[in-house]
Structure 1
Amino acid sequence: MLDVAGTWLTPEDRHLLRQPQVGGMILFARNTESPAQVRELVRAIRSERPDMLIAIDQEGGRVQRLRRDVVRLPALGRICSEAPDNAEEVAEAAAWLMATEMLACGIDISFAPVLDLDYGRSEVIGNRSLSGDADELIRLGRAYIAGLHRAGMAATGKHFPGHGWAEADSHVALPVDDRSEEAIRASDLKPFAALASVLDGIMPAHVIYPAIDSLPAGFSIAWLQRILREELGFDGVIFSDDLTMAGAHAVGGMSERVDAAVRSGCDMLLVCNDRGAAEQALAHAQRIGIQPGARLPRMLARRSPGIDYKHDPQWSRAMTLLKHNGLIESLA
């Protein structure tokens, strides 16, 4: 899964998209001016590759790539604090609103929900998390996933097995969570274990958990194969986190990162915000003969509600619910 620099495709972008090892595109804020422009960009991508998986990070709060002419969604952590009496209903409505707007743009998935526990330690997670309590997070996470599914969008939980305790930001450093395996299982792992059967995708953390493995979770056979696949029974898509992040450098250069992510069991590898690195990863993938993962089609949009979704009675109900709880900032 790669990215492009702007709001339209260059000839170089189109050439890249035609490579069979490129199975996905992720959109960032620089790619999104308005829903109409995003729809046109997506049409251009699909004219080259109709089967392309198109993703975005549209969590709400500080992580919302498309902001103009869409609902300014709340950070997930605000749902429980500001709607304690009906938090599950609000979580489902927020997910449905987000998914409906993104599907109308032609986008298949937003990488959500965040299932990390908020311990008040990690600034990169913070109120992106639904809760600091595992049982509460499970309830709200299940409701959020139900909202995505009701809209027709697959759900991707992140960052397995939990990024909330490690203080460093894996975008710029290599975080280490030095707790015991028992402590991690009794807390951070619980939401992923409880929701594995309803999640369609999971994204592991670029965090080292020395009690389990010396490698970051996204490169760890112990985490992804022994625990996630075999123990938790997860059969969905495993997305690597961005292989250009500092937390991924622990295993070496780009070729080594691709090898390690494939070996650990990742179905799709993200290489973002660095075209040179993306070309290196693609060239290495071509040399070693990586084939598209059989699970990936499960992540494609299950239903497109069309661009007239604001006339859907569900839209009015969801908007009223979030407004009543003070969770909609504005329509940009």
Structure 2
Amino acid sequence: MDNNNKYIFDIETISKKESEANKELRRKKHRQGRVIAWVVLVAGILLLGTALFFGGRALVKGIIGRGGKTVASVDGPDDGGGENSVIDELIGGEDEVVVTPPEPVEVGPSEEGLFEEALRNYIHTMTPEEQVLGLFIVSPEQITGVSAAIKAGDGTKKALEEYPVGGIIYSDKNMIDPDQFKTMIEGTKGYSKYPLFIAVDETLGKSVFPAKMKVAATQSASEIAAGGDASVARAEESKIAGYLSEFGINLNLGVDADVYPAPSGEDDAVPAVSFGTDANVVAEMVTQCIGALNEQGISAGVKFFPGQGYASADTSEAIAQNERTREEMEACELLPFISAADAGASAFVVSHESVPGLAGEAVYASQSKEVMTNLIRVELEMDGIIIITDDLSKTAVSAYYESGEYCVAALKAGADMLLKPEDFKAAYAEVLNAVNTGVIAKERVEDSLVRIYKVKFKGMTFDELNSLTAEKIVQP
């Protein structure tokens, strides 16, 4: 081909040039598209940010209005059409809503609080002497001076007028036949200015009632435990509750919660009055006994706190030592008493055994502040339980202490009631003197009486109690 012919084109060269031009054009369009996309994106972000800003302002103002107690929406538009105008447009220009906070509700005293206040008013109608006497549970012989009281006649009437004690505890020597005993109790109640605890120490399988009283026989605690059925304990205790109720008795101090060690030999055995060596079994059985008593209106006293199954001797005969540690007793002996309180026991009968592991010193539980106040009241939180000393005529006390001396020490340590001091009248005089001289605080006596009368007046309303108090004020 002639290369000098100017009309002849190189097709390949032209195609290459055209391709390069097209590529450049596409690149320009692509760059323009990206620029436009970025502009749109930025504009959208700016618009969204503006909307969120003003919307957030409106929301915050609404929340502040609610929390600050008045305005739930923002203010109306201002004259300048400024910020508030924009916000009003955003929320639709709603009217202002004022939220009025609710008036505070006054909570009045609880029914329990009212009842306790009424109780204290009732107690305040008593003389100091009557208040102190209300802390004693004694035998009928101790106030009448007779060797064996078998009726409530003029002697009982005069004795109760002079010594209006908190309770009377009866034994077999007061029982001739069912009618005689029931009449005696009715008369005693009628002569008393204040409600009495009418008590016995009636334990399963070990009755204080002689055969001539014809009460129902019961299985012993050990027999019941051997059978392993706690419902039997309830059924047997229900028998006791039944005949106690018929006679007019309202307090049984015979529920035994002691846990004993396993027998060490053929000559060693768990006493028949105990539910055994397993604290959990004892706790379950005791719970059933308390339920049975409470069902028939009998208050339950549980013995012998903090548990004397491991004591070295019987306190009726000698001084008893218990060398168990606090940890051991917390894991064993105390468990049935905790269950008893939960089940509705009214009182604990506190032992005369020496318990250094709990008391921190060689002192009887029945005169230990560590046991009766710090352990029962504070650690176990049992403020409502009535703390009754064990029988103060037992050898462990009567052979080594003066009655008055021991009673004062027991009350100072936290006891609420004093059971059968050997010399009741001397003990009363000593305690009264201690209260009058400030050795025992009057408030301390009142607190004990509140616990006592909460049990005695169980089921009574505070209105009924107020009426009773008013009657006493009018006719002291």
1-structure distance, mates of 2:155, 2:295: 37
Aligned length: 297
List aligned pairs for 1:102-121, cutoff 5 A. 102-119=244-261, 120=263
**C-alpha RMSD of the superposition:** 2.5
Q: Which residue of 2 aligns with 1:47?
A: 190
- Provide the secondary structure at the position in 1 that maps to 2:418: coil
Q: Which residue of 2 aligns with 1:327?
A: none
Q: 1:282 aligns with which of 428, 437, 442?
A: 428
Deviation digits for residues 240-263 of structure 1 (CA, Å, limit 9, x no counterpart) = 111121222487311111101111
Please state if 1:161 is matched with 2:306.
yes
Give the unaligned 5+ runs of structure 2.
1-136, 141-147, 436-444, 460-476
- Provide the secondary structure at the position in 2 that maps to 1:178: coil
Query: Does the Cα contact within 8 Å between 1:145 and 1:155 map onto a contact in 2?
Result: yes
Please state if 1:64 is matched with 2:200.
no
Give how far 1:74 is off: 2.1
Please state if 1:207 is matched with 2:353.
yes
List aligned pairs for 1:174-189, cutoff 5 A. 174-189=319-334
Please state if 1:3 is matched with 2:146.
no
Q: Which residue of 2 aligns with 1:328?
A: none
- Provide the secondary structure at the position in 2 that maps to 1:42: helix
- Provide the secondary structure at the position in 1 that maps to 2:195: coil
2-structure distance, mates of 1:66, 1:264: 37
TM-score by length of 2: 0.58
Query: Does the Cα contact within 8 Å between 2:156 and 2:191 map onto a contact in 1?
Result: no
Query: Does the Cα contact within 8 Å between 1:21 and 1:282 map onto a contact in 2?
Result: no
Query: Does the Cα contact within 8 Å between 2:170 and 2:200 map onto a contact in 1?
Result: yes
2-structure distance, mates of 1:193, 1:25: 27
Shifted more, 194-203 versus 232-241: the winner is 194-203
- Provide the secondary structure at the position in 1 that maps to 2:290: helix
List aligned pairs for 1:121-270, cutoff 5 A. 126-197=271-342, 198-213=344-359, 214-234=362-382, 235-249=384-398, 252-270=401-419
Give how far 1:30 is off: 0.3
* Structure 1 residues 180 and 134: alpha-carbon distance in aligned structure 2, compared to 1, 3 A threshold: same
Letter in 2 for 1:28: S
* Structure 1 residues 258 and 123: alpha-carbon distance in aligned structure 2, compared to 1, 3 A threshold: farther
List aligned pairs for 1:310-321, cutoff 5 A. none
Query: Does the Cα contact within 8 Å between 2:199 and 2:253 map onto a contact in 1?
Result: yes
* Structure 1 residues 123 and 294: alpha-carbon distance in aligned structure 2, compared to 1, 3 A threshold: farther
Letter in 1 for 2:299: A
- Provide the secondary structure at the position in 2 that maps to 1:293: helix
* Structure 1 residues 69 and 143: alpha-carbon distance in aligned structure 2, compared to 1, 3 A threshold: same
Q: Identify, as 1 or 2, the structure richer in helix.
A: 2
1-structure distance, mates of 2:209, 2:366: 24
1-structure distance, mates of 2:410, 2:165: 16
- Provide the secondary structure at the position in 1 that maps to 2:138: coil
Give the unaligned 5+ runs of structure 1.
304-332
Letter in 2 for 1:257: Y
Give how far 1:13 is off: 3.9
**Larger radius of gyration, structure 1 or 2?**
2
- Provide the secondary structure at the position in 2 that maps to 1:111: strand
* Structure 1 residues 279 and 15: alpha-carbon distance in aligned structure 2, compared to 1, 3 A threshold: farther
Q: Which residue of 1 aligns with 2:450?
A: 294
Identity of aligned residues (%): 23
* Structure 1 residues 103 and 244: alpha-carbon distance in aligned structure 2, compared to 1, 3 A threshold: same
Q: Which residue of 2 aligns with 1:311?
A: none
2-structure distance, mates of 1:175, 1:280: 26
Letter in 1 for 2:366: G
* Structure 1 residues 13 and 287: alpha-carbon distance in aligned structure 2, compared to 1, 3 A threshold: farther
Letter in 2 for 1:47: G
Deviation digits for residues 135-170 of structure 1 (CA, Å, limit 9, x no counterpart) = 111111111111111122121111001010113110
Higher relative contact order (CA 8 A, sep 6+): 1
